[in-house]
Amino acid sequence: MINRIRDIRLQKGLTLADVAAACNPATTAQTIGRLETGMRNLSLIWMNRIAAALGVEPETLLRSEGNEPAMLVATLGDRGPEALRKPIEAVLPNALSAEQPWVVLAVETSGGEYRMGDQVWLRQFSPQEAPRLMNRDVLVAHGAGHFAFGRLIDAPGEAVGLLPPTTGQGQVKVEQPAWLAVAEMLVRKL
């Protein structure tokens, strides 16, 4: 198994000192560096501490040696693409965050900003969080296996109002939703 602590830390924009300070209890940047490079044994206790400091699940810190990972090789900025000093393993955004659970919506018919074949990755929240998700695209679960999707435009009490992505459709009201999931990532084949 290969540890991906350095790759995850760099993709989150953290220094060794940042991770060391976020550990509970705090440790030194030198210790984190030794764990990253394999100079120190990555025990289960260290995996849990570092995963918590990075905000990821502990199993995200490891990968199999047999799989060749996708590599992050360049960044695109004002001056165009620039090579990284050293390529790092690309870690999927859903693995970088252990906050709320993820759900995925597959788009079968184009509508609004979404095209056929898209996958919309959404992070799940409780209905009480609806007021802070206003003006975002959300998937709302209600009833036995029923869903509504659209821009959250109203959240009075125990109901939510959505504006579907397809033009010409009226507002959809959902009473007592089981949960809401806010769109955070769009996966589209080019």
| Same domain (yes/no): 10, 80 | yes
Sequence-separated (6 or more) residues with CB below 8 Å from residue 38: 3
* pLDDT at residue 1, as a whole number: 64
Residue 51 belongs to a domain with what CATH number? 1.10.260.40
For 17-29, what is the mean pLDDT? Answer: 95
| Same domain (yes/no): 11, 82 | yes
pLDDT digits (tens, 9 = 90+) for 143-174: 778 899 999 998 877 889 999 888 888 888 99
| Same domain (yes/no): 87, 132 | no
* pLDDT at residue 182, as a whole number: 92
| Same domain (yes/no): 85, 132 | no
Element (H, E) at 54: helix 44-54
Is 15 inside any structural domain?
yes
Is 55 inside any structural domain?
yes
Cβ atoms of residues 75 and 81 within 8 Å: yes
Q: Report the SS3 class of residue 84.
A: strand
Q: How many structural domains compose the chain?
A: 2
| Same domain (yes/no): 145, 183 | yes
* pLDDT at residue 12, as a whole number: 86
| Same domain (yes/no): 112, 58 | no
| Same domain (yes/no): 114, 75 | no
With a cut of 70, say whether residue 82 has pLDDT above it.
yes
Radius of gyration of the chain (CA): 20
Residue 144 belongs to a domain with what CATH number? 2.10.109.10
For 10-35, what is the mean pLDDT? Answer: 93
Does 132 or 64 have the greater pLDDT score?
132
Element (H, E) at 162: strand 159-163
Q: Report the SS3 class of residue 37.
A: helix
Is 97 inside any structural domain?
no
- Among 91, 119, 145, residue at a domain's last position: 91
Q: How confident is the model at residue 45 (pLDDT cuts 50, 70, 90)?
A: very high
* pLDDT at residue 93, as a whole number: 65
With a cut of 90, say whether residue 137 has pLDDT above it.
yes
| Same domain (yes/no): 82, 47 | yes
* pLDDT at residue 80, as a whole number: 86
- Among 63, 91, 119, residue at a domain's last position: 91
Mean pLDDT computed over every residue of the chain: 86
* pLDDT at residue 59, as a whole number: 82
Please tell me the distance from the alpha carbon of residue 129 to that of residue 110, in angstroms, as a whole number.
28
Residue 145, domain extent: 102-187
pLDDT digits (tens, 9 = 90+) for 50-81: 999 998 888 888 876 666 777 788 888 888 88
Which tokens sit at 184? 């955070």
Is 143 inside any structural domain?
yes
Is 96 inside any structural domain?
no
Residue 186 class from Cβ within 10 Å (0-12 exposed, 13-18 middle, 19+ buried)? middle
Is 137 inside any structural domain?
yes
| Same domain (yes/no): 10, 87 | yes
| Same domain (yes/no): 56, 116 | no
End-to-end CA distance of the chain: 33
Is 158 inside any structural domain?
yes
| Same domain (yes/no): 135, 87 | no
With a cut of 90, say whether residue 23 has pLDDT above it.
yes
| Same domain (yes/no): 9, 52 | yes
Only one residue has tokens 């919309």, namely 120
* pLDDT at residue 34, as a whole number: 93
